[in-house]
Amino acid sequence: MNFLNTLLLFTLFLFLSKNFRRISENIFSHNFFLKSNKLIIFLISFNIVLLIGFSGKYLFSNFYLDHVEPQIATVSWFFEYKKDIYNSTSDYERYSLIFGPITYYTNYLMMKIFGASILTSKIISYLFINLTLVLTFLNSYKITKKIGFSFFLTGLMAMIFLSTVAAVLRISNDSLVFFLISLSVYFCLSNYSLKKIFLFSIIFIFILNIKPNLILGVLPSTYYIFIRSPRKIRDIIIFFIIVLVSLYFIWSYQNLSYINYFHWIQIISEFEYMNGFAFDIFLKNLSFSLLWIVPLAILYKLDWKKIKTYERNFFIILFFSSLTLSPFGSRKGAGTA
């Protein structure tokens, strides 16, 4: 599926090239390429239907895709018994992983409301992967004002999600992170308000407490929002105050030990990143990033003089974030997601 979609995508870019059209006009008719473009655009957009259908089927299936999901579901339910979420490294039970507390909070909330089961543990991941598609379409339409092109861009996003489908659907809340990153882009497209600064601060703290390294995903939006703020110093101070207060409330639960949490991060990071680095996965991650870096780089080059400075910087930071995240996913058990 990923290979086919990638082939379709690059074929589309090839067909859209004026130079290629000019060369190929002697062999094929111009209308042939126009019809081919429409077919390829439709096939890429159809990924939306595939992802919605696949996520729905997985929601109601009686199994997990990833071996880590039973652990997340079980530990999430520990809130019900007031049992430690992050235990000591010297305990007989050693079940702690480096997923942040929001992962366990949100999954527990769904299981508490609807009853503990495999299905209810998947609700958060199902809900937010589909909301991410909705938000992607809204973001695209807000920029382009074109429904068809917005569906194509949403299909392209769905294509990327399908290529890492286990990570997207598993209950480790990757889908919630994707939604929050998309929401941060939505705020970039919105008019300035103090409410937006407040909500963006919540986005920041939520991602930080799901998977700390994925905070790089909102680094471009963080720059974009604050560089355009008319009251930068005041808003940055408000941002840090909200982040600190939120951190306090999140970690105030007596069965959440931030000392044990950071201790486990240190142990797992030393083992997996120092001894578990896989160069072949690293190369795969870099090539995966080219799916959006190459088209964006071409577009930026064509309109570089027309693009505002802070928009150029947004792209540079996006490029930096993608490259920086690549080593984090370059170990066995990680990957491109």
Asked, for residue 244, whether it belongs to a domain, the answer is yes
For residues 228 and 220, what is the distance between their CA atoms, to the nearest angstrom? 13
Query: For residues 14 and 21, what is the distance between their CA atoms, to the nearest angstrom?
Result: 9
In a domain, 307, yes or no: no
191 domain residue, yes or no? yes
In a domain, residue 39? The reply is no
Average pLDDT score, the chain: 84
Of 106-115, 224-233, 302-311, least confident by mean pLDDT is 302-311
Residue at 283 is within a domain: no
Query: How many whole angstroms separate alpha carbon 325 and alpha carbon 312?
Result: 20
Would you call 257 helix, strand, or coil by DSSP? coil
Q: What pLDDT sits at residue 2?
A: 52
Q: 28 falls in which pLDDT band (50, 70, 90)? A: very low
pLDDT greater at residue 207 or residue 297: 207
Total count of domains within the chain: 1
Tens digit of each residue's pLDDT (9 = 90 or more) over 45-85: 899 999 999 999 999 999 998 888 999 999 999 999 889 89
For residue 183, the model assigns a pLDDT of: 95
Amino acid 211: pLDDT: 87
- The band of 208, judged by pLDDT with boundaries at 50, 70 and 90, is very high
Of the pLDDT bands very low, low, confident and very high (cuts 50, 70, 90), residue 9 is: low
Query: Quick one: average pLDDT of 157-181?
Result: 87
DSSP codes of every residue in 102-164: HHHHHHHHHHHHH-SSHHHHTHHHHHHHHHHHHHHHHHHHHHH--HHHHHHHHHHHHHHHHTT
Stretch 223-241: mean pLDDT: 92
Q: Is residue 40 part of a domain?
A: no
Q: Can you give the pLDDT at residue 333?
A: 66
Question: Helix or strand or coil: residue 331?
Answer: strand
At residue 190, the 3 state secondary structure works out as coil
Full domain range(s) for residue 77:
46-275
Concatenated DSSP letters for 61-117? Answer: SSS-SSTTHHHHHHHHGGGGGT--SS--TTSS-----S--HHHHHHHHHHHHHH-SS
Residue type at 217 in one-letter notation: G
Identify whether the C-beta of residue 169 lies closer than 8 Å to the C-beta of residue 129: yes
Residue 252 within a domain: yes
Provide the pLDDT for residue 30.
47
pLDDT of residue 321 exceeding 70, the answer is yes
Q: What percent of the chain has pLDDT over 70?
A: 86
The verdict on residue 177 lying in a domain is: yes
* C-beta contacts of 241-244 below 8 A and 24+ residues apart: 242/198, 242/201, 242/202, 242/205, 243/201, 243/204, 243/205, 243/208
